[in-house]
């Protein structure tokens, strides 16, 4: 699992903070890695591109609609599906939050009756490579995504709308073919 976490971390190389900044502040946000460019909005999802270490990253993203517990400062919470023009990853789903997730408690994504275990890497959570396609297909067909995770003192839960997810994911993927 450590090798898998290292591989995903290498593909992401600090991208989560930049992407979250782009979502929080809008298009054209300059960052240490590059500039986030807003491509379009698809109901509750948005599509962006970002140049990272010379590679174009295209991603669909949506912010959490609801967060629990209410007493916790969750920071920026977003769900992404990212593709790299180089082919380093295609349709890679991930969760980003504004705090360190507990690595000893697996997060999980839930869409309808489907459940996907996620492993934690700092402020992000990913599904195993072999589960990515299944989760992406469920994101495109479902109406709501729930992600359960944990920070140091408590369990957390997030709800994301899937309205527009299919079109946004398809657009992001087409930009990085």
Structure confidence by residue, pLDDT tens digits, 78-112: 999 999 999 999 999 999 999 999 999 999 999 99
pLDDT in tens, 31-68: 434 689 999 999 999 999 999 889 999 999 999 999 99
Burial-class residue 76 by CB neighbours within 10 Å (0-12, 13-18, 19+): middle
User: What does pTM read for this prediction?
Assistant: 0.84
Question: With pLDDT > 70 as the criterion, what percentage of the chain qualifies?
Answer: 81
Which pLDDT does position 153 carry in this prediction? 82
Q: How far apart (Å, rounded) are the C-alpha atoms in residues 109 and 138?
A: 10
Instruction: Give the pLDDT of residue 152.
Output: 85
Strand partners, 71: none
* Architecture field, domain 2-175: Sandwich (2.60)
Extents of the domains making up the chain: 2-175
In angstroms, the Cα distances linking 63 to 77, 103, 138 are 6, 22, 18
């Amino acid at each position: 699992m450590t090798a898998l976490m290292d591989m995903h971390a290498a593909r992401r190389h600090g991208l989560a903070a930049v992407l979250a900044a782009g979502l929080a502040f809008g298009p054209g946000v300059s960052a240490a890695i590059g500039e986030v460019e807003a491509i379009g909005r698809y109901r509750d999802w948005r599509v962006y591109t970002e140049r990272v270490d010379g590679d174009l990253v295209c991603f669909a993203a949506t912010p959490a609609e609801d967060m629990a517990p209410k007493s916790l400062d969750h920071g920026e919470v977003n769900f992404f599906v990212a593709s790299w023009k180089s082919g380093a990853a295609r349709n890679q789903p991930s969760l980003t939050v504004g705090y360190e997730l507990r690595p000893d408690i697996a997060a999980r994504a839930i869409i309808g009756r489907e459940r996907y275990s996620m492993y934690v890497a700092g402020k992000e959570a990913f599904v195993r490579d072999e589960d990515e396609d299944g989760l992406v297909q469920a994101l495109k067909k479902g109406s709501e995504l729930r992600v359960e995770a944990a920070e140091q003192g408590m369990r957390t839960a997030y709800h994301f709308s899937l309205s527009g997810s299919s079109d946004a994911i398809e657009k992001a993927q087409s930009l990085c073919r």
